[in-house]
Amino acid sequence: MSKILFVVTGADHWTLADGTQHPTGFWAEEAVAPYEAFKAAGHEIVVATPGGVVPTVDQASLAPEVNGGQEAADKIAATLAESSEFLEPLKLAEVDLAEYAAVFYPGGHGPMEDLAVDADSGRLLATALETGMPLGVVCHGPAALLAATTQDGSNAFAGYELTGFTNAEETQAGFAEKAKWLLQDRLVAAGVDFQEGTPWAPKVVVDRNLITGQNPASAAPLADELVKKLA
């Protein structure tokens, strides 16, 4: 059994370009699908958030229409309610990365608010990348990569092939025109080799120890890839 660190947004809103706060948090499927996959493979999960706040699930991610029906939505909600790890998170600043075998970041719009500018998260990501630790990041989770810089000020992930929530998907979701910035644009500006797939279809990109997924549908296949690296 290995310990996997879940780094989860502590934000419960996303500030839009006009200053309004859109209620959000982490996206349920992107946390639950990997959680279940890692548990099934025998791994222990520890959750950490900025400040150790209990993470907020985006209520939109519990809707039947994004989970394939009411039964599946209820199952995801029940899993989150029964998973004590999400109710007792560590403070991100106090995490000792040496205790873990892998790191995983779920998405939701929350990371756009806090993890994108969180220095503790940025240092953790840069260290995980440098040491070769398996690192999984999905959907809007790659916003956290923007805070990972090297000593010369460049982004630690520059030159890596990766994916994340695309401009096309943000447009179709109705937020592109409302956002202060778009994830794909910022990642490209940071120097990554962004791999864009079909909107809403599963897409996973593996480059060395980094595993990224484009959207919620990519969370489960990303988890499978991470489990392989721990086998």
Contact 199, 173 (CB under 8 A): no
Q: How does pLDDT run across 92-147, given as a tens digit for each residue? A: 999 999 999 999 999 999 999 999 999 999 999 999 999 999 999 999 999 999 99
**Residue 12, number of CB atoms within 10 A of its CB:** 18
- For position 32, what pLDDT does the model report? 98
Q: What is the pLDDT of residue 1?
A: 81
65 pLDDT tier (thresholds 50, 70, 90): very high
The answer to pTM > 0.95 is yes
Question: CB-side exposure of 164: number of CA atoms within 13 Å?
Answer: 31
What would the mean pLDDT of 10-20 be, rounded to a whole number?
98
Question: Considering the chain, what is the average pLDDT of its residues?
Answer: 97
Is the pLDDT at 24 greater than 90, yes or no?
yes
CA 157/CA 163 separation, integer angstroms: 12
